[in-house]
Structure 1
């Protein structure tokens, strides 16, 4: 990986009371637990935290980016449900001697982030959800179809690294899968901050892809069995950022969370897709800063 974001720190495996967790830390200040989405890992946690908060990392922020169970260096084991993963995060904080943390979660990081806030409210100072799954999610067929294909391709030596190299040389072609509007795609990739972050995320997916597949497959299976509606009040301050044009996690996930907990603050990104954290990064960061200001007030 050539992006400097991923060279801010090296991952370590922390042995907790509930099992090992691979985690990377970057920066100093307010502790932030950054939870990645599907086909992710600690590396994407850093990238996504930089997109949401600024950086890498933002001034006055200590980012803790774990690989969720089944991703990279964190074994899946019995930590399959959002609740079990939430308890693992709390065990990680215990091991690191940390008190309350801000939690940022993107996409498939949403269910375990919400479970963490509900099960360990004293450990969660606030929650920022971006394009996040909040209840039952039937993953689109086009997305599900990629998993067995990637698994088969991972068995061919050198194939996925070659595809990653090609994607790095043709970033707009790769990005158009996530940003349908060609002009918006070019504008995002040309942005001096959003562009490098999005390219780094795209390249990371094919780096060690086989080690990202068990967690992704588990997410797909577990999310399909979640309740159709969120459980109720989250119990901590929540900011939800979601695009109305999200084709991966529909905007209804944010609406249902607000219906279950009217105290949830919503940033509705008109027409925004699943990667609205890149296409609308400046507006999102401004809203996040205002949210954090209210937490500190």
Structure 2
């Protein structure tokens, strides 16, 4: 568990934590998520080189929605939190639903961004795909969430298989191999098992998730062409959660952006792909401008 705090910024309350020392990097979680998901995202960032500024975006855990619904609102809240912490500039690391606020932070506060890394990040209009009743109940009902936790505890390999299958378009053979690789690696296995509870749509995350989905559908342009910060876009080619085209669009739109693709990578590719360690090192080097 991380030690979270509450900051009363000029734009309202935000739950946050700072982990590590060194160059500051803001970590923006996906949808659903929270500061706990941000902590898992930042797990590979070296604590002696990077001070990871983790936060719950509005509507998640200890950060109330309070009308801060748009990507611009959330980008400005990041700036307000950095003001509260006395941080002038920072790197930004976003994943999935944290993409719009990360991109807009770089647009609206260009003088405060050292580098931007966007992993499988929403960059244009997005609508949640239709889900069958069983899937919806699994994530949104108390019995479903209890069953997921039970599966993770007593049948972890099946849980990992289910997560990788849901997050990627893999053949049966590819899925079997990926599950075996992840389950044999304690770091990868524990990441997948720990991530599950942060994606539950319980009362502490429901408002944030519903708002995210509504706002993502309304996106017409994030003005990516205005981003001046060095930008690295990371994407798995077999992502079934967010179409890879979001990353390809961002990499083409952001001036000078670099694109790192992970072949057959799922929505969890940066943490579960066979080349995850090398990709993570690339992210660290990019954030530190090495």
TM-fit CA distance, 1:230: 5.3
- Aligned-pair RMSD on alpha carbons? 2.2
CA deviation profile, 1:214-234 (whole Å, cap 9, x unmatched): 111111111011116754242
Change (3 A) 1:94 1:146: farther
Confirm or deny: 8 A CA contact 1:27 1:62 kept in the other structure.
yes
The residue correspondences of 1:105-116 to structure 2 (distance < 5 A) are 105-116=94-105
* Residue of structure 1 equivalent to 2:185: 191
Q: Within 5 Å, which residues of 2 pair with 1:98-247?
A: 98-142=87-131, 150-151=139-140, 153-154=141-142, 160-161=145-146, 163-180=148-165, 181-206=175-200, 209-227=202-220, 231-247=224-240
Kindly report structure 1 stretches of 4+ aligned residues shifted beyond 6 Å: none
Q: Which moved more, 1:222-231 or 1:269-278?
A: 222-231
**Unpaired segments of 5 or more residues in structure 2?**
166-174
TM-score (norm 1): 0.86
Q: Deviation digits for residues 241-292 of structure 1, max 9, x if unmatched?
A: 1011111111111111122124111101112111101222212113213424
**8 Å contact from structure 1 (residues 230, 256) kept in 2:** no
Structure 2 distance, partners of 1:11, 1:100, is 21
Normalising by the residue count of structure 2, what TM-score does the alignment of the two structures yield?
0.88
Encode CA deviations 1:73-124: one digit per residue, 9 max, x unaligned.
Answer: 1011111110100000100010111111111111100000000011011111
Residues 249 and 173 (structure 1), Cα distance of their counterparts in 2 relative to 1, 3 Å cut = same
Alignment of 1:33-72 (within 5 A): 33-51=26-44, 53-54=45-46, 58-72=47-61
CA distance in 2, matches of 1:182, 1:285: 23
Residue 3 of structure 1 is matched in structure 2 by: none
Q: CA contact under 8 A between 1:70 and 1:214: conserved in structure 2? A: yes
> 279-288 vs 210-219, which deviates more?
279-288
1:24 aligns with 2:11: no
CA distance in 1 between counterparts of 2:254 and 2:102 reads: 15
After superposition, the Cα gap between the structure-2 partners of 1:160 and 1:218, relative to the gap in structure 1 and judged at 3 Å, is same
